[in-house]
Amino acid sequence: MTGTPFHIVDVFAEQKYVGNQLAVFRNAGGLSSDTMQKLAKEMGFSETTFLPSDTERDGAYDVRIFTPAAEVPFAGHPTLGTAYILRHEIIQKPVPRVTLNLKVGQIPVAFERQAEGGDIVWMTPKEAAFGETFDTREIAPLLTIRESDIDASFPIQSVSTGLPFVLLPLRSLEAVQRSGVIRDKWLNWVKDRQAKMLFVFCRETLDRAHHLHARVRRLLRHCRGPRHGQRQQLLRGVPGQAPLLRRRPDRCPGRAGIRNRPALAHLFASAGPRRNHPCGSRRKSSPDCTRKTAMTDDREQTACCGLCCGDCIPSHRPLFDAAERLRQELEKCQFGAYAKYKSKSNRAFDHFGAFREVLDAMLTLQCTKPCSQGGGRPDCPIRACAHGKGMEGCWNCTASETCTHLEPLSAAHGDTVRHNLRAIRQFGVEDWTHARSKHYVWTEASEQAPPRNHHQASNGQHHRVDLESMPWQSPAPGVRFKAWECNGSRLRLAEFTKEFIEADWCVKGHIGYVLEGVIEVDFHKREEVFVAGDGLFIPPGNEHGHKAKAITNSVTLVLVEDKV
């Protein structure tokens, strides 16, 4: 193997040693296909690439991609990682574009320099090819999920940008985590189909900045591996894909690989050419590009009045999907007749007609695009006023603090409109939503109002622990907590960021629950990952010594411990 150097690259990585691993072999022209296959198996990564030569052919570099079991015509993260090595290790010049000769044809990869350092890498794959669609009742028996877990808003369909997958939309993160294939049934079902791999995704995410959570469920040996880039490219072609994007309908950050190596990829979709946007790669990763990319949708989500369209109830697609499904099911089973029958024993069913009227009225409220794209009221006087003055929004107007057009909004939004306008002026319309106020006055009231029952105990103490009024304590960079102690026990609401580094091994015992984010706990080189919704139990003692670190930008959890 003398004279065949190789590089190890982390793709879709927000920091070193995460994301998708890739081995890139150079000067591989003298290797046989069999040797390449053996090397890919020896490396053990989901994919390994081989560059037969360091020189171009027909304006592009030849690249072959192997999984541990077979050669494949295309895969997302190997394309991006190999292009990175070509530019930084072979060309060694800041060229704006590198093109790869793959089995599917030429794939261009572009590099965009960031002001904070590092490059953003864009890939333009082949257009998605759509295959057959499948019925929920056909798919569900093959999997470890219930039929009700499948999101009927989108089709179950075979899609390919080089490798075919069966795309399965699910309703929740919990369903994604439970999803899997029943081996014998799945093998029998796919044996005569091109698509052998299952790709599951949902619109519920671990991080508000993301739009999708996705995983590949693999069974066959040649199906192993992350393939997040391939998955993102499949998603951009899903019929009716716009509702997938919770905020802006063109840039879509998606999370995958949480249980193994966290990976974050971004999708760019439009009516024209579409591109895949990874967060970074080894040596030149750009941790801040996640925040930067996630915030570029602020402008489109900003209404002329200063409200954030993504916070508006009419923009909440899952609510209207559920209402439509309920309406259809009520009609399908003729519930109106059943309600009339049941009203003889339960007078509440006398109001079923009124309930149906409310349900139908709800469906008329849905707004499918932000105000900046013509959504909302067609005759909105605020938008007409701003555009009539040649302004993008009210934040450009010096009279907004006293404008009478904004007054009617106070009934639902209180002082939020003027608060948001000040935030836009301070931070700019591209990056202001982190400072926005509560969208609705009743949301603010419900969060601030105390519970109706405090249940005072006989010793004069309340059963309710008022964490809201407690001050935050910050013993080290990247961590803060609120603590309540009683009878030798302590309850903590803790928040960690990636800045937190635990210097010493903790030997305290913990019982806890992860509210938001993803945290990794190292038990002396044995790592376990806990996601939102996971409980954790760590006994005290040196044998259970541990260190924790945040995988997502922030992690919130509740801990119950013995007071020390």
Q: Which residues are catalytic?
A: 47
Environment class of 59 (CB within 10 Å of its CB; exposed 0-12, middle 13-18, buried 19+)? exposed
* Nearest residue to 249 (alpha-carbon basis) of 214, 301, 317, 213: 301
Backbone phi, psi, residue 60, to 5°: -150, 165
Q: CB neighbours (10 Å) of residue 127?
A: 12
Q: Which phi-psi region, left, alpha or beta, contains residue 211 (left: φ > 0; alpha: ψ -120 to 50)?
A: alpha
User: Where do runs of H (alpha helix) occur along 169-287?
Assistant: 173-178, 183-190, 228-235
Strands 251-256, 212-217: pairing is parallel
Residue 546 pairs in a beta bridge with 506
For residue 77, CA distances in Å to 6, 10, 31, 122, 550 come to 17, 9, 23, 11, 24
Please provide the size of the chain in residues.
564
Q: Annotate 153-198 with DSSP letters as a single string.
A: TS-EEEEESSSEEEEEEBS-HHHHHH--B-HHHHHHHHTTSS--EE
318 sits in which H/E element: helix 317-332
CA 289 to chain centre: 15
CB 330, CB 452: distance < 8 Å: no
Task: Please return the burial class of 333, using the count of CB atoms within 10 Å of its CB with bins 0-12, 13-18 and 19+.
Answer: exposed
